[in-house]
Structure 1
Amino acid sequence: MEAFSFAHSSDLNDLEVHVRIDRLDGHQKPVPYSVLLKRPDLRHRASIINPHSELYITAQIWADSKPLTVPVQTAYKSFKNARIWNEWLSLPVTYSNLPATAQLAITIWDLSPAEDIESSLHAVPFGGTTIPIFDKDNTLQKGRQRCRIHRFKAADGLSSTTTPWVIPPVRKSRRNVESEGTVDEQVAEMQRLEELLKGQEMGDIPQNAWLDGLVFKKMMKIRNEALKAEAASQSRQTNSNSNENVSKSEDDGRNELFYIDIELPRFDHAIVFTDVEYAPPPVSDIDLPSDSLDVRLRPPPEVSFGPGINVSGNGYGDPDAGRLVRIYDPELGRKSNPAENKHRELMRSQQTDSLDRDRKPNVHVRDLLNFIIAKGPLQEITSNERERIWKFRYYLLRDKKALTKFVKSVNWRAPREARQAAPLLEKWAEIDVDDALELLGPQFDHPVVRSYAVERLKKADDDELLLYLLQLVQALKYEAPGEGDDSSLARFLITRAANSFTLGNFFHWYLMVEISDFSTDQAPEHRSLFAKVEYDFMVQLEETPEGVKTRNTFLRQGELLTVLAKISKDVRFGGGDRVTKVARLKKSLSDPNNKLISFDPLPLPLDPSVMITGIYPEDCAVLKSSLLPMVLNFRTSTNTKYPIIFKTGDDLRQDQLVIQIITLMDRLLRKENLDLKLTPYRILATSTSAGAFQFIPSMSLAAAVSKYKGSLLAYLRANNPDDTAPLGVRKEAMDTYIKSCAGYCVITYLLGVGDRHLDNLLISPSGHFFHVDFGYILGRDPKPFAPQMKLCREMIEGMGGAQHPNYIAFKSYSFTAWSTLRKSANLLLNLFALMQGANIPDIKVEREGSVRKVQERMWLERAEEDAAREWDRLVEESGGSWTAGAIDWMHDFMQYWKK
């Protein structure tokens, strides 16, 4: 079967409908004097006086028996021998907006000094025709078309039109069969020649100027003879079937036969009608991101069945009577009721502060208030709950956890209500940092609220602020339109970054990555916003005593990273095997033009507390990865080595986010005196396709198991021998291994880290276990049936087995860590909420849903005892999951064939 190509009509959204009016052919009979005596107005019509009179044509689009456009008219033209317009008309509608029932109504207008009785105009219809724009196969008609003209009728454009462009053949009587044979042959010959002419115009038949001229003259002669024969045949049929009620003029109109030739645009492919898919009802005013499809509407209303109605929904008593249809009320899709909003505004404007100050809740209302305040940042507050919060706002001033709920209960777009609420923010008990971060989210755009949150952040020290800096940079996107030049958050970040080199270092590189993001997922206005903040940062930096020096430092860092990126691309795309690439890397690092062997002390962008003075060219390597990252050893100012991995061709912002969250979680656990020996190595994305991360001397579990004959315990015993300790492993190393396994099992479960196999699980000689390569997070995994927690057989075997006390200690540490982090759920959820607009792959998949996926894994709705039992079950299922071993085996098999 030959390939069939077509396009959709919806794709022609910029092309208007066109039609070319070519010529009018036909046989016009002279009007008898008897008719002119009865109709004296006919003697003055231009077409009767002169067979080549100046007619004009109008074209109009109709659909479903209604006009879709205004009519378009041909220009004035005088005719000598034939009525030929040869004019393109453009109708004011595009092909993408045409319905499938669209029709083109063409009317030829005659002129008369006497006004038309029906229209009271001097233009009277000479004839009309109606042609559908799409054929019976819903394909756009194209090329030359020959349309039948219905005399003395204007084209109506109705669905069941009385002026069709093609008249189906009339069933003939027996006595007319023989006489009509000749007519049919002439008409068929004319139609055959017209099809050949159309084929030549479409390019199917080659052209020959000399021969085509002769053929065209012959075609015109055959056409005229066919028209006369067809008109005579039409006259005989009309006379035989004439009705006594038909007037003589109308009868003569039926006997006259006219055709008009038009031409429609031609396309390279067939154009198939495609309807526009509109968003399904109900209409909702819920404010969602433009790329979000997760519209959470209220559930459909329950249908109340009356007496005698079958409650199964089949119909009224009789199952065959029809199906009962539930109608969705569009008002249920609204976020709020306009009548309730107006009522609330009126009530709050009438309430006096003096009365509300003395208002105290009873026991029942106090319990309800506590229930509302205990809700998480993602839980919705109903209108009744908002009213209750507002009513007892003065009573709640002492509760710092109630502030975010109070802010949500205020309509900040109502000026009067905002003026009442704003002074209370300063009187409220000081909120925690996690609540301040929530107030910087996308749903809070009022400058008063955001300024209050910034004032709370000002009390955080630089170390704490650094933990949230990545999210605070993203929060700049949520500033209200027009606030970019006077953003309290931007001023705060610029001021703190200008006075702290460590903060300024990371603030600078976070902004540079966003500025360099020219993908379609980064809005141009956001890129301009980050560029403006970077410019203001540099301006304020120069006002500080060390500002000029700091700017030069950032410039040198950029030059260093640019040279490393160029070398990385040369190594990656250069030919040769891995040995050749390592030799090319060493040569490039030793090249004096690159100035990498020795340079003035420079803060390492990855870790600005480390001053580097050069690179050891001989102590470098290229890893066996698809992107061939480079392992570089920097010389520090203390003559020690600082190894890093530099990588191009990959966006490290997702890995950077995961490591930042792991660093935060480590700090939260340490606050509860729970040190799980985590290894949050440093990582920094320097552009959308390059970055560096700290190299930790370690070995993958796959390599360790392979080297030590399938035993991770043997690896620990070889690096930490102690004959007096259980299992022959030094106690400190075994404790480090157990705790780090527990910590990373909990963290990777909460973050939904996927694609876990033995090659991205690493272990250091000291027993530190950790994860790398976070290409899949938030529940995404390229492998089917992957377990929720990565706890493989090799990890348990390294603890001494599932029956050893070390495994019991591991489960205890894991539940304690999960329970501890669960208490900081608001902070973690608010940080992910601030990252909703970030251009990070697994967050872009479902921006609002990404926060909810983290919330689901914290089981916030479950009590502590139920959660403990569920956690123990999850650990046991993960440890005994056969899918984990199958995934590791499949990964090893694929790696073997890639070699």
Structure 2
Amino acid sequence: MSTISSDYITADPKGLYVYSRDLHYNLKIKIGTLDGSLPTPSIDEILEKPLRRFSETDGNMLLEIFISCQLFSGGKPISMEARTRYKAFHQRFSWNEWLYLSMHISDLPRDTLLVCTLYSVNGPYDLLPLGGTSISVFGNNGKMRCGPHDLYVWPMVRGDGVVPSATPGKVVDDNFQMNRLAKLVKRHRSGRIRSVDWLDRLTFREVEMINEREKREMSAMFLMVDFPPISVDDREVTVVFYEDEADKRVECVVAPSIVKVLDGELDKPNVVERKHHILTRNVRSGAADRELKPNSNARNQLNAILAYPPDQTLTSEEQDLLWRYRFHLSQDKHALTKFITCVNWGIPTEKQQAEKLVLQWQPIDPGAALELLTSRFTNPFIRQYAVDRLATTTDDELLLYLLQLIQALRYEDATEIRAALIRVSNAPSSHARKESVSRSSLSEKVSDLVQPTSVTTKRDLATFLIERSCQNPKLANYFYWFLKAECEKNKQTAENNKLAQDGLPMDTFLIVMKRFSNALSQGDDLHKSTRMMLSRQLVFVDRIMKLLKEIARESGTRKRKIERLQGLLGNPDSELAKCFSYADPLPHPLDADVRIVGLRADNAWLFKSAQMPAKLTFVREDGTDYVTIFKLGDDLRQDQLVLQIISLMDKLLRQENLDLKLTPYRVIATGTDNGFVQFIDSTPLAEILATEGTIQNFFRKVAPSKTGANGIAGEVMENYVKSCAGYCVVTYLLGVGDRHLENLLLTKQGYLFHIDFGYILGRDPKPMPPAMKLNKEMVEAMGEDNFRIFCVQCYSAFLSLRRSANLILNLFSLMVDSSIADIALEPDKTVKKIQDKFRLDLNDEEAVLYLQNLIDVSLTAIMPAVVDTFRKFVQWVRP
């Protein structure tokens, strides 16, 4: 029991209380016992980890468990993690241990959550979460909790610190007496129920028996957590949360100057506006509107409307203006998406007019059609039109949008996709078809497999993607792995939330995956070979994962693990070495154009990192090396998205004859916690500055030239200046954070590029980050003349990408409902964050001045230099 000074005590008719602001010591809690039955591992888990079968209680020996506790507020941790000691349990799980949390009670926010997670120790570096629970430190009435609490433990998940929590410790169920009895015990503790000694002993014994019986009936785990009481002069007091100026008096205006009167017709439709809408969009007005031309004032208004960002809502007046001049605008392909937003698709006559006009409109670009596949457009006709426009793209162009198109499947009609799966499953097998079908009928054959049997040629987005992927093995490669990652993530989400997947939108990806598999299995030889390729790739990735998991369990230093890895791969008699030797070349999942036949065991390497990514060198058909990095334990989907956008930006810049020497290396997420990364032979800037002193010294060493300026080959310096400019603009637009000299890499050819995109959209773990990563060492390497060229290249790239801003915004609009980390934090603000970076409210001249100011501010920023110096010191003292 904690004691404080009586000076802070306040009397109240209901008892004594103290403000939380006056308690300047750490919060402590007592971890008591764990009751109930532990979750039993499934057959699949035992097969994957045989040691799990010893994790259950066996005789007098219990599982090795410890409990981790941490405070959360606003979904983020606010204290360090506190853990119980390791103990050997024999009869029951009982800790009876006080944990001190690294936060004063006076500093706790109102929404503070205590989050507890139970971990099972299965071996070195192998912790399995057995369950999690959470409870608010302050109750609904602002009082800090006191006394013991039985918290329901959600099995096989970590405690969740988000409000509302997915792992609440209080089970709200009127069928159990535990909740009712807990409230009565709380009333007795507070003195609202009179205490009778002999009767209390009998009652509490019966309460314990009822609680034990109901815990057994629930077949669940309950963790006893005790909050210590606060006392003054041997009198227990209540701790009440206190906010600054909470007791400030608010003057009440007795005679307000404005009187609010309820308008009963406020929520009813305006009959005048509805009548106006019907008259202006009447079918009879079409003949008059057909020859209508806008005057100078209307033309300016229309140009301003067409320049709006994709997600800006149009007013009723702007919608009427677009409708009035719809025939004039039909010659402008950029105006179609704005026109579609002003149509009321619920009115049959207006819908009929709009559909007829859309087919007569100047066809829009496939990139602009992506906007019509977002969640804002649900009309089947419009989504069908968007798919038809995407059908005009080449496979290489479609590959640039494939990641977002798979996300757009969320907004398709799940019922129709599910029904199509049933029709595909009942379709006749290709074995019954004639073998003499020509290659020209390939598209028709695939359409028969993936489309419903109908006389119409309509196809939804899922059908289109399956059809194109079946025709191109390279496209099928990326379509499969993108889709697999989404299926895996949705499965994990369903398991964590204890939701049945049947009937939920998350089933869409799994249905499309099954339709894709059926289409390949029922197709011709090309389709079956593609299906076989994907099956081989799946086995290939699975073997690498099992290999690295085995290496991770290996005890010893990193050097010993590397030797073990090379030994397993280099033993010609081992089955593992034979698994990575292919008589039939295998297209690599990272790049389907690369066909590998083997793996160089001597070149296998483990990086110095917590997850120890593996550097694997594969052998191509022609005998050359293809070096990749396989990461296990990291979600690469965010890096995959960023590199895809950088690849698209590089293509957009090249289309305007602006080659900024970007290096969009390849990344493929083969799951939610594993994937491949292309290895680029390069050196971090931190290492270059530490060993060579300056970047110019590095260039003079790797690319000397007697005729070049400063003794450096001119081509190398040109590559450096352009790549610096390109990545400064690209990382600024994407809001890439956590930039330091260790994730800026430089090749011997002068190409500078960024890696590690764990923070995007403005997030940054460092204080006061600059808009661009540009320090004096990077600028000094350019020289004065090249720095001016650098600035001009930055301005040109910024203006060029601003002209394609709608395409980039459309791509991010399709990603808002994905589970990518930095997007999922604030999905409703994702597009707005990117849009603000483009500064579409400025003209070109103002945009150049704005970017020039950003370069100046970033170059003179002090905090990045301090952070880089601190990181250098940490690396120096690290053993």
The question of whether the paired residues in 2 share the 8 Å contact of 1:498 and 1:544 is answered with no
Please say if 1:741 is aligned against 2:724: yes
Q: Is the 8 A contact 1:648 1:689 kept in 2?
A: yes
Q: Taking structure 1 as reference, are residues 786 and 593 closer, same or farther at Cα in structure 2, changes over 3 Å only?
A: same
Residue by residue over 1:789-845, the C-alpha shift from the partner in whole angstroms, topping out at 9 and shown as x without a partner, is 100222112213xxx111111111111111111111011110111111111000001
When residues 619 and 340 of structure 1 are mapped into structure 2, their CA distance, relative to the original with a 3 A threshold, is: farther
User: Relative to 1, partners in 2 of residues 1:719 and 1:659: Cα closer, same or farther, differing over 3 Å?
Assistant: same
Tell me the secondary structure at the aligned position of residue 361 of structure 1: coil
- The reply to whether residue 201 of structure 1 matches residue 203 of structure 2 is yes
Going from structure 1 to structure 2, the CA distance change for 1:597 and 1:545 (only over 3 Å counts) comes to closer
Q: Aligned letter for 2:853?
A: R
Q: Does 1:867 align with 2:847?
A: yes
Please report the TM-score for the alignment, with normalisation by the length of structure 2: 0.66
Report which stretch shifted further, 348-357 or 862-871: 348-357
- 1:330, distance to aligned residue in structure 2 (A): 10
Judging changes above 3 Å, is the alpha-carbon distance between structure 1 residues 727 and 350 closer, same or farther for their aligned structure 2 residues? same
- The aligned runs of 1:738-817 (5 Å cut-off) are 738-800=721-783, 804-817=784-797
Question: Matched residues in 2 for 1:413 and 1:746: separation?
Answer: 43
CA contact (8 A) 1:632 1:646 kept: yes
Structure-to-structure mapping, 1:376-387, within 5 angstroms: 376-387=309-320
CA apart distance, 1:597: 4.6
The secondary structure found in structure 2 opposite 1:439 is helix
Alpha-carbon distance in 1 for matches of 2:631, 2:406: 24
Q: In structure 2, which of residues 838, 841, 856 is the aligned counterpart of residue 858 of structure 1? A: 838
SS at match of 1:658: helix
Matching of residues 452-467 of structure 1 within 5 Å: 452-467=385-400
Q: Match of 1:346?
A: 278
Structure 2 counterpart of 1:644, one-letter code: T
Q: Indicate conservation of the 8 Å contact 1:786/1:887, yes or no.
A: no
Q: 1:397-454, CA deviations, whole angstroms, 9 ceiling, x for partnerless residues?
A: 1111111111100122333432231111110011122320111111001110000011
Query: What is the CA distance between 1:693 and its match in structure 2?
Result: 1.0
Residue in structure 2 matching 1:593, options 554, 558, 575: 575
1:666 to 630, 650, 671: 650
Shift of 1:343: 3.6
Q: 1:598 to 1:410 in 2, by over 3 A?
A: same
Secondary structure, aligned partner of 1:619: strand
Q: What SS does the corresponding residue of 1:398 show, helix, strand or coil?
A: coil
Q: 1 CA distance for matches of 2:207 and 2:676?
A: 65
Instruction: State the distance in 2 between where 1:721 and 1:841 align.
Output: 44
Over the matched positions of the two proteins, sequence identity in percent amounts to 40
Give SS of 1:780's match.
Answer: coil
8 Å CA contact 1:760, 1:772 repeated in 2: yes
CA distance in 1, matches of 2:566, 2:201: 69
1:578 to partner: Cα distance: 1.4
1:546 corresponds to 2:526: yes
Q: Which moved more, 1:530-539 or 1:674-683?
A: 530-539
Distance across 2 between alignment mates of 1:534 and 1:341: 47
Q: Which residue of 2 aligns with 1:55?
A: none
Structure 1 counterpart of 2:822? 842
Q: Any conservation in 2 of the 1:496–1:503 contact (CA below 8 Å)?
A: yes
Deviations 1:572-631 (A, max 9, x none): 342211110111111222353122452121111111111100100011211112210001
Aligned residue for 1:650, secondary structure, equals coil
Conserved 8 A contact 1:494-1:537: yes
- Structure 1 residues 338 and 765: CA distance shift in structure 2, 3 A: farther
Deviation at 1:659, TM superposition (A): 0.5
Matches within 5 A, 1:393-408: 393-408=326-341
Q: Counterparts of 1:412-811 in structure 2 under 5 Å?
A: 412-485=345-418, 488-517=460-489, 518-520=491-493, 524=501, 525-542=504-521, 543-591=523-571, 592-594=574-576, 595-599=578-582, 600-708=584-692, 710-800=693-783, 804-811=784-791
Decide which moves more: 353-362 or 420-429: 353-362
Identify the residue that residue 893 of structure 1 maps to in structure 2: 873
Aligned to 1:40: none
Q: Secondary structure at the match of 2:631?
A: strand
Q: Is contact 1:397–1:428 with CA below 8 Å preserved after alignment?
A: yes
1:499·1:544 contact (CA, 8 Å) conserved in 2? no
Larger Rg: 1
Aligned position for 2:90: none
Distance in 1 of aligned mates of 2:281 and 2:294: 21
Contact 2:761 2:834 in 1 (8 A): yes
> C-alpha separation between the residues in 1 aligned to 2:749 and 2:186?
80
Q: 2:430 is matched with which residue?
A: none
Could you tell which deviates more after superposition, 590-599 or 575-584?
A: 590-599
Deviation, structure 1 residue 538: 2.0
Residue 42 of structure 2 is matched in structure 1 by none
SS of equivalent to 2:721: helix
Instruction: Specify whether residues 409 and 140 from structure 1 end up closer, same or farther in structure 2 by C-alpha distance, changes over 3 A only.
Output: same
Which TM-score applies when normalising by structure 1? 0.65
After superposition, what is the alpha-carbon deviation per residue over 1:264-323, rounded to whole angstroms, capped at 9, x for unaligned? xxx9999x99xxxxxxxxxxxxxxxxxxxxxxxxxxxxxxxxxxxxxxxx99xxx97567
Alignment partners' CA distance in 2, 1:464 and 1:205:
69
Q: Distance in 2 between matches of 1:412 and 1:494?
A: 29
Separation in 1 of the partners of 2:376 and 2:314?
13
Pair 1:638–1:328, CA change in 2 (3 A)? farther
Count of paired positions: 621
Amino acid at match of 2:575: N
Q: Is this contact kept in 2: 1:741–1:810, CA < 8 A?
A: yes
| Letter paired with 2:662 | L
Deviation at residue 370 of structure 1 after TM alignment? 2.1
Rounded Cα–Cα distance in structure 1 between residues aligned with 2:757 and 2:260:
46
> Is this contact kept in 2: 1:199–1:205, CA < 8 A?
no
Measure the CA separation in 2 of the matches of 1:705 and 1:326. Answer: 70
Map residues 177-192 of structure 1 onto 2, 5 A cutoff: none
Task: Give me the whole-angstrom Cα distance separating, in 1, the residues matched to 2:265 and 2:800.
Answer: 40
Give per-residue Cα distances to partners, 1:848-880, cap 9 Å, x unaligned: 211111111111101111111121111111112
Tell me if the contact between 2:283 and 2:353 (Cα under 8 Å) persists in the aligned partners.
no
CA distance in 2, matches of 1:341, 1:477: 35
CA-to-aligned-CA distance 1:44-94 (integer Å, 9 cap, x gap): xxxxxxxxxxxxxxxxxxxxxxxxxxxxxxxxxxxxxxxxxxxxxxxxxxx
Cα distance in 2 for partners of 1:572, 1:143 equals: 49
Instruction: Measure the CA separation in 2 of the matches of 1:677 and 1:326.
Output: 65
Cα deviation, residue 140, structure 1: 4.4
What displacement does 1:395 show? 2.2
Deviations 1:688-711 (A, max 9, x none): 010001100011011111111x21
| Alpha-carbon RMSD | 3.5
SS in 2 for 1:820: helix
8 Å Cα contact 2:283-2:349 kept in structure 1: no
Q: What secondary structure, in the 3-state scheme, does the structure 2 residue paired with 1:607 have?
A: coil
Any gaps of 5 or more consecutive residues in structure 2?
3-26, 31-139, 143-181, 210-223, 228-236, 239-249, 421-458
* Alpha carbons of structure 1 residues 691 and 842: separation in structure 2 relative to 1, 3 Å: same
Measured in 2, the distance between the counterparts of 1:206 and 1:698 equals 66
Residue pair 2:684, 2:741 contacting (<8 A) in 1 also: yes
Distance 1:580 1:668, change over 3 A: same
| Paired position in structure 2 for 1:369 | 302
Does the aligned pair in 2 maintain the 1:589–1:596 contact within 8 Å?
no
Letter in structure 1 aligned against 2:839: W
* Structure 1 Cα separation of the partners of residues 847 and 266 of structure 2: 35
Gaps of 5+ in 1: 7-97, 101-138, 146-164, 167-190, 208-266, 274-313
